[in-house]
Structures are given as structure tokens and as C-alpha cells.
Chain A
Amino acid sequence: MTYQGMTCPLLSEESIDILLDYAAGRLDQARSTLLERHTASCESCVAFLGGQTSLWQTLDEWEPATVSMDFNRRLWRRIDGLRTQPWYRRFSASVRLGGWKPAIPLAAAVLVVAAGFIMDHQNTAPVSPAAAKSVGVSVIEVDQVEKTLDDIQLLKQLDTSGTDTRAARTL
């Protein structure tokens, strides 16, 4: 929607600054002229400007309170207190300024590495008889399993050599 060579500022929040600045009396002459040409044929903008200008004047009524006379004196007293602080207090104050924030990802990375290290060592550590007993697995059972696996391997080898012998006889 274009009126008098200007897209209506109300159509986009991006260009709302033109109306806000005009209502505040902060818009430069060139853009003011352009907007005035537009508002001559745009009732929506006229209504917006009327409301915004009145709001602006209403907000002017809220004047700030008077600042305490001793503000500077109180501040300098606190600054003097800073100067006489021991080094560790000054350090903790500097940390409070936000210096601890970069330490968060670093601490997280250290934790992840530490957790990985512990888990890795837990997996490869030999099972002591005492530990095995505590989880209900006896060392003898482990030995039996190993022996059984060896037996299976031996049987496979025998089976393979038997097949080869039968094949030779057939020939």
C-alpha cells in the first residue's frame, strides 16, 4: 500500500520509527515532509500519530525525582573502601563482574573428561576376587567359561581336520 510515493509505515514494524520519531519531534525535515505528504491521504497514520503524540505528552508528566545530595560522597566512601580491601576481596569482586562465566564451559569439559577417564578405567580394570564375589560371580565360574571356550575352539579344529581326512580318502 503506497500513498504519495511512500509505503505506509504502519504496514511494517521495521519502519515504525518514522512515526515514533515524528510524534516525538525528532524526525529530520526531509523525512517529515515525506511523511506529511503520506498522512494527507492515510487515515490510519493520522490516527496513530494523534494517539502517539498524546501519549508522548502524557509520559512527559512523569518527571524524575531529585537525586540525594550525598550520592557522590557515599560513592567515594565505597570506592575508598575498595582501595583498602585485601587482595582476595578485590579478586572475588572482579570474579563477580562476570569473570566466572567463561569458566562454566571449561568446568563442564573437565567434568566430561574426568567422567570418561573413570569409566574407561572401570571397564579395563581386572576383576579382583573380592569384587567379583560382591556382585555374585565367582572366579571359578570365569575360569570355567574360559576353559569351555578353549574346548569349543579345539573341537572346531578337530572337526576341520576330520573333514580334510575324509576328503582325502574319497579322492
Chain B
Amino acid sequence: MWQRVNTGMGASPAPDLDAELMLRVREGDEDSFRVLLDKHRNPLIHFLYRMVQDQPVSEELAQEVFLRIYRSRASYEPTARFTTWMFRIATHVALNWLRDEKNERAQERLDDDRDYDLPSRELPDRKPTVEQRMLYRARLQEIRDAIALLPAKQRAAVLMHKYQEMEYSQIAAVLECSESAVKSLLFRAYETLRGRLAHMVTRGTK
């Protein structure tokens, strides 16, 4: 009944640990799925959150990604790194959500979940003042807006490069394009961001 799921990312690299775990899931070992879930849950939700900029939605989309992985277990073939496959599904899910006109309207109400944006690290040793909090929020909003205004594919490339620390080849596999196309996407995206955040980005030599 299940269609054959080929991770479809070109040449077959040596199976990684995650792929081996997924093969065990295919054999019916649900504990291996728990391991994969615990390992990749946070990076996946963080990526989706930065893509859609809505915390409840990002968790819902992450659930969809893990459900798809679970549903595909019977036909899983490790033809690429597990994370490449997972982020490919996640990117598809996020891009579909962003394309949805209805959801784009919902995206405009970013203020609703503003409290999600206050990370625990923001509160170091002492409580920040009201002014510091406002300043932080304003800067954060500018960063979010600058990234949100990028074309969806550029945004995905930047998030995978900057926050997931992925290799160019892996980003290319996720986005189904060439490595040089990824470099071009990143070059243009960072150029745009440097322009949009110029007042925050202090120019100086390294």
C-alpha cells in the first residue's frame, strides 16, 4: 500500500547514524523513532519557526514533518543523509504554508506571539530594564522583518546556512538546485540583509 519513498537526493552517500536509526524504524523499532524525534525536534522547530515566524504554526508544521517521516517508514531508502531528507520535507511544508494566501494573512499578526521571542538567554544575571527589553524587541523585530521580506527560497537558504550550519551541498540537495545556485542565493540574500539592517550592522574590519 505504501509508495516507495526514495529520499531522492542524487548520489548515495554512506548511511549516517540517523539513516541507520530510520532503517530500524522501518523494521518496526519505535524507540529508534523516539531517538530521532528527540535529536531533531528542536532544530527542526527552530528552522520552521524562523521560516514562518509563528511559534504555534511552526510546531504544527513540525508535527506534520515527523508524521510524514513516520508514515514513510515502511518504504524508506537511505539514498541521502537523513537530515537532508527531513529538511527537504520541512522546507516543502513551510513553503506551502507561506504560499497559502490565508496563512499569509495570519502571518501579519506576528505580534500575537511576541512572548515566544524572549529567549531564556536574554535574561542573564540581572533582570533587564524596561528600556533594554524594548530595545531588544525593536532590534529583534527588525531582524525578523528583514528576513521575512526575503524571497522564500533565499530565506530558507539563509536559515539553513546561518542557523542550521549546513554545507552548501546539503542546502542544494534540500532546495533541489545546484551548489552554485545556492551560493548565488546566499550572496544575494546576505547582500539584501546587509542593506536592510545597515543601521544595525556596524561596518568595520575583522
| Residues of A participating in the B interface, judged by any CB pair closer than 8 Å | 13-14, 16-17, 20, 22-24, 26, 46-47, 49-56, 58-59, 61-68, 71-72, 74-75, 78-79, 82, 87, 90-91, 93-94, 97-99
Subset of 23 A-B contacts with CB under 8 Å: A13-B180, A14-B180, A16-B183, A16-B186, A16-B187, A20-B186, A24-B162, A49-B206, A51-B194, A54-B201, A54-B202, A54-B203, A54-B204, A58-B201, A59-B162, A61-B139, A61-B140, A63-B122, A65-B117, A65-B119, A67-B42, A75-B37, A78-B67
CB-based nearest A residue for B37: A72
Number of A-B contacts (CB under 8 A): 120
Q: B77 to chain A: which residues have CB within 8 Å?
A: none
Q: A64 to chain B: which residues have CB within 8 Å?
A: 42, 45-46, 49-50, 119, 163
Tell whether, in the assembled complex, residue A72 and residue B203 are in contact, meaning their CB atoms are under 8 Å apart.
no
A51 and B37 contact, Cβ closer than 8 Å, known pairs A17-B183, A58-B197: no
Secondary structure type dominating chain B contacts: helix
Task: Give the docked Cα–Cα distance between A53 and B140 (Å).
Answer: 18
| Residues of B participating in the A interface, judged by any CB pair closer than 8 Å | 1-3, 5, 37-38, 41-42, 45-46, 49-50, 55, 59, 62-63, 66-68, 70-72, 116-117, 119-122, 136, 139-140, 143-144, 147, 161-163, 165, 168, 180, 183-184, 186-187, 190, 193-194, 197, 200-206
Q: A14 to chain B: which residues have CB within 8 Å?
A: 180, 183
